[in-house]
């Protein structure tokens, strides 16, 4: 079944789209996605392939997650999400996910999987793993730590998101600035008072990108007030 999946992907390859994606996902030397290989298959098509092979065993998903090909890793995560949702043994899948954090190594892979697997599981379990991930030296583990909290935000639980945002406040990477700002914005959409309380404490030392993402949905006068006050 795994060989058939790989053949399906080869048949769907689009070299022009692949070239565009390799630029978009920063795959050049020294960039965050260095070495990532794209086949040029759009996400809705990948979801269709994942549904076709949703019964793959974890050992086969491991093979896909070890792949240099981006679409193989993303499809394995789509399958893993489906299996997680249907499983009576969710911890096994979460442990598998955590074992593979270094293979979940581009921002779309993190964003599409972390809330739905790790975040969902931690709604009713000990969340200390998120704080370990937040203090990792690995970019993707740090992004997983904050994106997983999206599941909490959707359930009106904000404290872990805010604590992890504070841990990551001085991170140097743009992808962390965007992720933290995004989660703060999502908190604000649920309760702007909670977000503003955090911002009033921290906005002056926030990276500019983080602040812009965080206040994107504010009324224009308030948004300008934060931006001008930071200068």
Instruction: Encode pLDDT of 179-227 as tens digits.
Output: 999 999 999 999 999 999 999 999 999 999 999 999 999 999 999 999 9
H or E segment to which residue 157 belongs: none
pLDDT tens readout for residues 40-61 = 999 999 999 999 999 999 999 9
- 193-208 as b/e, with b when 16 or more CB fall inside 10 Å? ebbbebbeebbeebbe
- What average pLDDT does this structure show over 124-144? 97
pLDDT at 231: 62
Output the pTM of the full model: 0.94
Give the C-alpha separation, 175 to 132, whole Å.
18
Give the C-alpha separation, 78 to 32, whole Å.
22
* Closest by CA position to 144, among listed 184, 90, 105: 105
- What average pLDDT does this structure show over 86-98? 96
- What average pLDDT does this structure show over 142-154? 98
Give the C-alpha separation, 177 to 91, whole Å.
30
- What average pLDDT does this structure show over 56-78? 97
Give percent of the chain with pLDDT exceeding 70: 100
pLDDT at 229: 85
Q: Which residues touch 195 (CB under 8 Å, ≥6 apart)?
A: 184, 185, 187, 188, 214
Report helix, strand or coil for 216: coil
Report helix, strand or coil for 104: coil
């Amino acid at each position: 079944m795994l060989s058939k999946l790989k053949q399906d992907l080869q048949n769907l390859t689009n070299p022009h789209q692949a070239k565009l994606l390799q630029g978009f996902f920063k795959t050049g030397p020294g960039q965050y996605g260095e070495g990532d290989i794209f086949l040029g298959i759009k996400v809705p098509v990948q979801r269709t392939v994942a549904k076709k092979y949703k019964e793959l065993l974890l050992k086969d998903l491991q093979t896909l997650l070890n792949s240099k090909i981006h679409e193989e890793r993303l499809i394995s995560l789509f399958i893993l999400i489906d299996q997680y949702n249907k499983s009576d043994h969710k911890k096994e899948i979460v442990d598998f996910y955590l074992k593979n954090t270094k293979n979940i190594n581009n921002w779309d892979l993190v964003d599409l999987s972390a809330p739905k697997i790790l975040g969902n599981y931690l709604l009713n379990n000990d969340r200390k793993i998120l704080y370990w991930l937040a203090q990792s030296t690995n970019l993707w583990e740090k992004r997983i730590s904050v994106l997983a909290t999206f599941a909490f935000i959707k359930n009106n639980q904000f404290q872990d998101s805010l604590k992890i945002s504070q841990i990551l406040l001085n991170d140097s990477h743009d992808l962390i600035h965007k992720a933290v700002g995004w989660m703060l914005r999502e908190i604000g959409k649920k309760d702007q008072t909670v977000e503003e309380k955090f911002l009033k404490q921290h906005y002056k030392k926030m990276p500019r990108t983080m602040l812009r993402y965080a206040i994107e949905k504010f009324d224009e006068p308030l948004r300008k007030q934060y931006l001008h006050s930071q200068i």
